[in-house]
Structure 1
Amino acid sequence: MTHRIAPDIAPERAWFKSSYSEANGTACVEIAHLPDIAQVGIRDSKDKGGPVLVVTAGAWAEFVAAVRTV
Protein backbone atom coordinates (compact mmCIF):
# COMPACT_ATOMS: atom_id res chain seq x y z
CA MET A 1 0.00 0.00 0.00
CA THR A 2 1.31 3.44 -0.84
CA HIS A 3 0.59 6.63 1.03
CA ARG A 4 -1.52 8.89 -1.19
CA ILE A 5 -2.62 12.42 -0.40
CA ALA A 6 -5.47 14.43 -1.87
CA PRO A 7 -3.43 16.74 -4.12
CA ASP A 8 -1.86 13.67 -5.76
CA ILE A 9 -5.27 12.14 -6.48
CA ALA A 10 -7.36 14.95 -7.95
CA PRO A 11 -7.33 18.74 -8.33
CA GLU A 12 -9.14 20.74 -5.65
CA ARG A 13 -12.01 21.58 -8.02
CA ALA A 14 -12.84 17.85 -8.36
CA TRP A 15 -13.74 17.39 -4.67
CA PHE A 16 -17.26 17.94 -3.35
CA LYS A 17 -19.31 17.35 -0.20
CA SER A 18 -22.57 15.47 0.00
CA SER A 19 -25.73 17.52 0.19
CA TYR A 20 -26.37 15.57 3.41
CA SER A 21 -23.26 16.99 5.12
CA GLU A 22 -23.72 18.89 8.36
CA ALA A 23 -24.59 22.56 7.92
CA ASN A 24 -21.72 23.67 10.18
CA GLY A 25 -19.25 21.57 8.17
CA THR A 26 -17.52 19.97 11.14
CA ALA A 27 -18.08 16.32 10.25
CA CYS A 28 -17.92 15.93 6.49
CA VAL A 29 -16.28 13.78 3.91
CA GLU A 30 -15.64 14.84 0.35
CA ILE A 31 -15.39 12.69 -2.73
CA ALA A 32 -13.85 13.05 -6.14
CA HIS A 33 -14.88 10.90 -9.08
CA LEU A 34 -11.79 9.60 -10.89
CA PRO A 35 -13.29 8.42 -14.19
CA ASP A 36 -9.96 7.82 -15.92
CA ILE A 37 -9.23 4.99 -13.49
CA ALA A 38 -12.86 4.05 -12.58
CA GLN A 39 -12.31 4.92 -8.93
CA VAL A 40 -13.52 7.36 -6.28
CA GLY A 41 -11.37 9.28 -3.81
CA ILE A 42 -12.70 9.94 -0.31
CA ARG A 43 -11.13 12.46 2.09
CA ASP A 44 -11.83 14.30 5.34
CA SER A 45 -13.05 17.80 4.51
CA LYS A 46 -11.07 19.21 7.46
CA ASP A 47 -7.78 17.81 6.10
CA LYS A 48 -7.86 18.67 2.41
CA GLY A 49 -4.19 17.89 1.92
CA GLY A 50 -4.29 14.71 3.95
CA PRO A 51 -4.68 11.04 3.18
CA VAL A 52 -7.25 9.71 0.74
CA LEU A 53 -9.12 6.44 0.64
CA VAL A 54 -9.46 5.29 -2.98
CA VAL A 55 -12.09 2.68 -3.86
CA THR A 56 -13.47 1.34 -7.12
CA ALA A 57 -16.44 3.14 -8.60
CA GLY A 58 -18.43 -0.09 -8.21
CA ALA A 59 -17.62 -0.35 -4.50
CA TRP A 60 -18.64 3.28 -4.01
CA ALA A 61 -21.95 2.71 -5.83
CA GLU A 62 -22.68 -0.32 -3.64
CA PHE A 63 -21.87 1.69 -0.48
CA VAL A 64 -24.15 4.56 -1.51
CA ALA A 65 -26.96 2.15 -2.38
CA ALA A 66 -26.63 0.44 1.00
CA VAL A 67 -26.67 3.75 2.89
CA ARG A 68 -29.80 4.86 1.05
CA THR A 69 -31.68 1.81 2.33
CA VAL A 70 -30.99 2.66 5.98
Structure 2
Amino acid sequence: MTEERPPIEQLRRGKYEKPSASPDKGNCFRLTRVGDWIGVQDDKEYTTTPVDKRTTLGFTIAELEAFLISAKAGEFDHLIA
Protein backbone atom coordinates (compact mmCIF):
# COMPACT_ATOMS: atom_id res chain seq x y z
CA MET A 1 0.00 0.00 0.00
CA THR A 2 1.25 3.48 -0.88
CA GLU A 3 2.12 5.84 1.96
CA GLU A 4 -0.14 8.87 2.30
CA ARG A 5 2.68 11.38 1.83
CA PRO A 6 5.42 11.21 -0.77
CA PRO A 7 8.97 10.44 0.42
CA ILE A 8 10.30 13.80 -0.83
CA GLU A 9 13.88 13.31 0.36
CA GLN A 10 14.10 9.95 -1.43
CA LEU A 11 12.46 11.43 -4.51
CA ARG A 12 14.93 14.34 -4.54
CA ARG A 13 17.80 11.89 -4.79
CA GLY A 14 16.20 9.70 -7.47
CA LYS A 15 17.72 9.10 -10.89
CA TYR A 16 15.72 11.52 -13.03
CA GLU A 17 14.97 11.09 -16.69
CA LYS A 18 14.11 13.80 -19.18
CA PRO A 19 11.50 13.09 -21.88
CA SER A 20 13.12 12.52 -25.28
CA ALA A 21 10.73 15.00 -26.93
CA SER A 22 11.67 17.85 -24.60
CA PRO A 23 13.71 20.83 -25.80
CA ASP A 24 17.39 21.09 -24.86
CA LYS A 25 16.92 24.60 -23.42
CA GLY A 26 15.80 23.40 -19.98
CA ASN A 27 12.13 24.22 -20.47
CA CYS A 28 10.89 20.85 -19.38
CA PHE A 29 10.62 18.50 -16.42
CA ARG A 30 12.23 15.26 -15.30
CA LEU A 31 10.67 12.16 -13.74
CA THR A 32 11.88 9.42 -11.41
CA ARG A 33 10.24 6.49 -9.67
CA VAL A 34 10.83 5.54 -6.05
CA GLY A 35 8.65 2.62 -4.98
CA ASP A 36 5.04 3.53 -5.75
CA TRP A 37 5.83 7.24 -6.16
CA ILE A 38 6.74 9.35 -9.17
CA GLY A 39 8.93 12.39 -8.55
CA VAL A 40 8.77 15.46 -10.80
CA GLN A 41 11.48 18.13 -10.96
CA ASP A 42 11.98 21.23 -13.11
CA ASP A 43 14.77 20.64 -15.62
CA LYS A 44 16.27 24.08 -14.90
CA GLU A 45 16.67 23.25 -11.21
CA TYR A 46 18.07 19.81 -12.00
CA THR A 47 21.28 21.27 -13.37
CA THR A 48 21.60 24.43 -11.23
CA THR A 49 20.28 23.62 -7.74
CA PRO A 50 21.81 21.30 -5.13
CA VAL A 51 19.94 18.00 -4.80
CA ASP A 52 18.64 18.76 -1.29
CA LYS A 53 17.23 22.13 -2.40
CA ARG A 54 15.40 21.13 -5.59
CA THR A 55 11.66 21.67 -5.76
CA THR A 56 10.27 18.14 -5.97
CA LEU A 57 6.67 17.08 -6.40
CA GLY A 58 5.53 13.56 -5.57
CA PHE A 59 2.57 11.75 -7.11
CA THR A 60 1.31 8.21 -6.85
CA ILE A 61 1.45 6.19 -10.03
CA ALA A 62 -2.36 6.28 -10.17
CA GLU A 63 -2.40 10.09 -9.85
CA LEU A 64 0.13 10.54 -12.65
CA GLU A 65 -1.68 8.00 -14.82
CA ALA A 66 -4.99 9.86 -14.36
CA PHE A 67 -3.28 13.13 -15.32
CA LEU A 68 -1.73 11.61 -18.46
CA ILE A 69 -5.03 10.09 -19.55
CA SER A 70 -6.73 13.47 -19.13
CA ALA A 71 -3.95 15.29 -20.98
CA LYS A 72 -4.07 12.82 -23.87
CA ALA A 73 -7.85 13.31 -24.04
CA GLY A 74 -7.31 17.05 -24.50
CA GLU A 75 -8.73 18.20 -21.18
CA PHE A 76 -5.98 20.80 -20.77
CA ASP A 77 -5.70 22.00 -24.36
CA HIS A 78 -7.42 25.30 -23.52
CA LEU A 79 -4.56 26.11 -21.14
CA ILE A 80 -1.89 26.00 -23.85
CA ALA A 81 -3.78 27.25 -26.88
TM-score (norm 1): 0.70
Q: How does 1:1-70 map to 2 (within 5 A)?
A: 4=8, 6-7=12-13, 10=14, 14-22=15-23, 24-34=24-34, 36=35, 38-48=36-46, 49=51, 50-70=54-74
SS for the counterpart of 1:53 is strand
Unaligned runs of 5+ residues in structure 2 are 75-81
Separation in 2, partners of 1:19, 1:51: 22
Count the aligned residue pairs. 60
Unaligned runs of 5+ residues in structure 1 are none
Separation in 1, partners of 2:66, 2:56: 19
Give me the CA root mean square deviation: 1.9
Separation in 2, partners of 1:52, 1:66: 22
TM-score (norm 2): 0.62
Runs of 4+ in 1 over 4 A off after TM superposition: none
Greater CA radius of gyration, 1 or 2? 2
Structure ranking higher in strand proportion: 1
